[in-house]
Amino acid sequence: MTAQDFLSLLPLLIVSTTIVVGMLAIAFHRSHRLTFWISIIGLALALISLPYAATFSPRLITLLFAWDNFAIFYTALVLAGGLVVTAISFGYLERTPEKKEEYYLLVLLATLGSVVLVISNHFVSFFLGTELLGLALYPLVAFTPSQRHRVEAGIKYLILVGVTSAVLLFGMALIYDGSGTMRFDQMSSVAASSVLTEIGLGLLIAGISFDLALVPFHMWTPDVYQAAPAPITGFIATVSKGGMFALMLRFFSHVSIINGGLLWNEFALIAIASMLAGNIIAVVQTSIKRMLAYSSIAHLGYLMVGFLAGTPLSAPSAVSFYWVIYFITTLLAFGVIAMISDPLNEVDDLESYRGLYWRHPQPAILFLLSLLSLAGLPPVGGLIGKIYLVAVGVQATLWLLLAALMIGSVIGIFYYMRLALSMFRKPEEKMETTQHGKQIDFVLILLGGLIIVLGIFPAPLINLASQMVTSLGPR
């Protein structure tokens, strides 16, 4: 590796150094506030270093990593998501007597794993990123061991991550057998090489679909979302999925998926099932976190429409723009849940949100903004994101996928607005609520403002996304 290679990896090196510094700080002096600020400063420095690291792109760093505009865009998104999750976690964790300093180290490690996925160009770095992410997430899901349902969810997630790793490795082995390479940029003819390679690609799709919680590999999602601490649920829904989706975009920019072919049809069925099943099952949920879990399944299905379009218009700027909107919206939703909850008593039942506006106007208004964006209603950014996806779907004539998107969106409006209306109804009796911290208020107000700004002025972000992801090119 050259000096330029190390400088290109500066954001990853800063996050890695922050983990070591945080670990040493905990060893010498346990302090929740100190560990929090070490994590915040480390992630902020990693974000600030990105423009400098970008001056060395595009380049291939050894055989494992591709550093280009696409990697820079998604690395910035992942680091920003990790920074927001860390920020909203402080006030949430302050309300528990349990030790919490290691929590921040695990969030940093999971963020690092997601960045590794974003820049991966090789099966080895792919597997390394997946394992870093998974091994950090399952203890985060079960972070307060006094809560037995969290420990149960963490064990379930651990077992399923182990099974998924085995499926991914077997798929990688079959693809390597057929192609003779593990580098993504040398797999242009993989899809048509042999039957074993087709099976390997199928296993790879299954493993990726598990991490993205796409139907029918979604069964872990509602239990983990409901049991995990609210900030970690937001992390799983955004940062971990964003890293895997970026890897999928890079991999399948080199492996051809022809409209009507076996791989394309497999993805299309997964997308349609995710859009319909996610929204339909969300309707009957009384747990807000389970409802948002099925909602996230549906939104990943929407993103698959842009992925499958494969047109110059989408390549893949539409999904990148939608990812930014989805990150902001979802982190805002789970941030509000964290604001009005505490680790030992999360406000999760639909009935608990009745009259929230009359008790806490600010969280209710912020939650309303996130629900409007998830539903794709004006004046927030979610509407523009869906219009962009529909536009690329129309350009690619994906009528069946678009029909599923429209039907799913209409169903989604029902359960999003049901929650919104419940928040603005006057409660029959006064309900006790927890206090929330100023750190959460500032971050969530910023996210709410971004959703509104992007709904009114989306052009700068659309142009930025289009410019940054052109390194992948149309599929």
Domain presence at residue 88: no
Rounded mean pLDDT of 232-251?
Answer: 92
Biggest CA–CA distance in the chain, Å, is 68
pLDDT in tens, 187-202: 776 655 678 888 888 8
Is the pLDDT at 303 greater than 90? The verdict is yes
Instruction: Pick the more confident residue, 96 or 449.
Output: 449
Rounded mean pLDDT of 338-356?
Answer: 83
List CB contacts of 20: < 8 A, sequence separation 6 or more.
none
Rounded mean pLDDT of 440-448?
Answer: 85
Pick the closest to residue 1 from 49, 61, 77 (CA basis): 61
Domain presence at residue 418: yes
**pLDDT bucket at 471, cuts 50 / 70 / 90:** low
When mean pLDDT is compared across 49-58, 221-230, 322-331, 460-469, the lowest value belongs to 460-469
Instruction: Pick the more confident residue, 463 or 404.
Output: 404
In angstroms, rounded to a whole number, what is the distance separating the alpha carbons of residues 399 and 405?
Answer: 10
Q: 257-271 burial by CB neighbour count: b if 16+ within 10 A, else e?
A: beeeeebbebbbebb
Q: Which domain holds residue 442?
A: 268-475
Rounded mean pLDDT of 119-141?
Answer: 92
CA 69 to chain centre: 19
In angstroms, rounded to a whole number, what is the distance separating the alpha carbons of residues 79 and 41?
Answer: 12
In angstroms, rounded to a whole number, what is the distance separating the alpha carbons of residues 71 and 65?
Answer: 9
**pLDDT bucket at 434, cuts 50 / 70 / 90:** very low
Rounded mean pLDDT of 360-366?
Answer: 88
Is the pLDDT at 143 greater than 80? The verdict is yes
Domain total in the chain? 1
Number of H helices, E strands in the chain: 20, 2
Phi-psi domain of 260 (left: phi exceeds 0; alpha: psi -120 through 50; beta: other): left
Domain presence at residue 275: yes
Domain presence at residue 406: yes
Instruction: Pick the more confident residue, 105 or 2.
Output: 105
List CB contacts of 398: < 8 A, sequence separation 6 or more.
268, 305, 308, 309
Is the pLDDT at 433 greater than 60? The verdict is no
| Average pLDDT over the chain, rounded to an integer | 87
When mean pLDDT is compared across 131-145, 315-329, 421-435, the lowest value belongs to 421-435
Rounded mean pLDDT of 97-106?
Answer: 87
Domain presence at residue 293: yes
In angstroms, rounded to a whole number, what is the distance separating the alpha carbons of residues 243 and 262?
Answer: 25
User: Looking at residue 315, what is its pLDDT?
Assistant: 54
Domain presence at residue 439: yes
Domain presence at residue 416: yes
Backbone angles phi, psi at 92, to 5 degrees: -65, -50
Pick the closest to residue 377 from 369, 367, 365 (CA basis): 369
User: Looking at residue 196, what is its pLDDT?
Assistant: 82
Domain presence at residue 437: yes
User: Looking at residue 260, what is its pLDDT?
Assistant: 64
User: Looking at residue 96, what is its pLDDT?
Assistant: 78
Is the pLDDT at 306 greater than 70? The verdict is yes
Rounded mean pLDDT of 151-165?
Answer: 88
- DSSP track, 58-74: SEEETTTEEESHHHHHH
Residue labelled with tokens 């399944």: 297
User: Looking at residue 73, what is its pLDDT?
Assistant: 93
Rounded mean pLDDT of 315-322?
Answer: 82
User: Looking at residue 179, what is its pLDDT?
Assistant: 80
User: Looking at residue 264, what is its pLDDT?
Assistant: 85
Rounded mean pLDDT of 45-52?
Answer: 94
Percent of the chain topping pLDDT 70: 93
Helix, strand, or coil (residue 110)? helix
